Structure 1
């Protein structure tokens, strides 16, 4: 080998060594950055008292439906302890009013209430982010190595693989925390809890615990019994809306379950499902006497804006004349539980609650809608509300 070749070889080895050291340094920095602060989420501010209480009917000894619209912030999802603490504060207020009846209360929580457990034990800046885009970007960047597998294994037909990967990757931990929170509260207060909804990959219930699987994402609700165990049946959202369709799968109305509770046979429709006739036909066939509708309306003040029609499915011909004429809130009353439960399923008692709060820049709107033979709409409020319907 010539002197020039030897010199080139030495330089090449030097550059390779430098490159390896830089790579190792970058990987070490990334690992420390990605893990920093994860296990010590910021302190949770005190829970603001419930702003509005409404009581419908009187206690006849037959139990009640209790609709809670909590006011949520990103830090409330910093850990299972944070979430349980927030809910416990609300439920203690309900208990002081005599609205938690052991065995005979069914508590209804809103759609997506468990979904934001995806932010559990993430980097601090996620809880302080001004937008959901910034929060999700940080989640992606700090989990690149483990998100890759979920991304490439997204089911066929998933057009938004990144959002799928974020939730599928966190599914096991989310399911564990969701169960931990609601199992504990159901057992502590001895009530039935319709635990809002959560995005999970192909979930199931094993030995009273909600467990995430592999495969398609579903928007699901679990019902926790007073003994703390999740009912073996999960409610999967039948009709995902436009924002969900790129990464969330739909379910079959024929598979819609009902739940035997101490106060009646309970049906659960997740948000947009309450706008569709086949869902009510299934509930009628299975003998539901009570209805819970966990919901979320995105965007501050959206209930006062013109209704744009159905989302995720075509607007029925019978409703097209109201597009642009009704407000979003008026359409909820006419085409969802308020206008369908009694004539289409024979159900006269129901509770429809909405997720509210300052969750990044998502915005929210919606007031609790109560079906008690006739329809009752609670007062709009910027804060938590609690509504008791005596059965």
Structure 2
């Protein structure tokens, strides 16, 4: 059997056997999209996990044989809004009994489990940067949105595509006449400490570098000698990671946050796309366990992942963040390290593309 045929068999006629041997940690480490991997993990729990509906589970296993992973995942997505576990099992068995493949199951699911639309709320969501562009998704009251669309359509050329003209007009109205303050990004230079230095000791807000010629100097003095006194420079050690952020004046209160965000530009949990600027700063070794507020113990985590992170490493259920080669890295409950982004300072400076196992 060639590899493609084996893949199709594993995802269709042998789907239940695949789920029986599924391991979430291995799937994530192999690069499977996290959302898909978690969906498969939930399927394994449904068909092989512990439940008080053991007879229904046996019937479901029998009916699921020959179904594809996508069909099984579709059923779980459609019955997810149902809160009663017994009712979910009944719907699951009913959909497993539908003949005709994916499309037939989807049609039956729409009839058996009408989609409940959540009430719309006013919200704005900004997507991650891609090729110099970002996406804004705005939900607001229809009257105000109609007014915005009307304003955006003023003066557009009907012979040309409207979407780009709408975007340009709205941005012009948004920023025109200086009405909206522009973001002011801080230019910062990332600098790897040369091989002839090593971290010797901490000294307040600075560090002392030991030189191979027998002398020592502070990190701030070293960077001033190398780059002058006008640049804002962040220093990174190839093993220890972020060292300090140096300025020509007293260090800013946000220094440690800046360095944590440079080390990981997004939330450190795999698959999360919250930018570091919108994240909370997490103590890798928890404060309650003696973790200090130092740059080598800080990582950006979004509000949700900061709360589900396992602060007790001996009781890992959802996984936890650890520092590996100076970069925040998620450690799965099975001990597999997975890094969310390779755009952090350590990767840019030293080429650490993958977290070591």
User: Per the shorter chain, which TM-score range?
Assistant: under 0.3
Bigger share in strand? 1
Larger Rg: 2
Give the structure-2-normalised TM-score: 0.23
RCO higher in structure (CA 8 A, sep ≥6)? 1
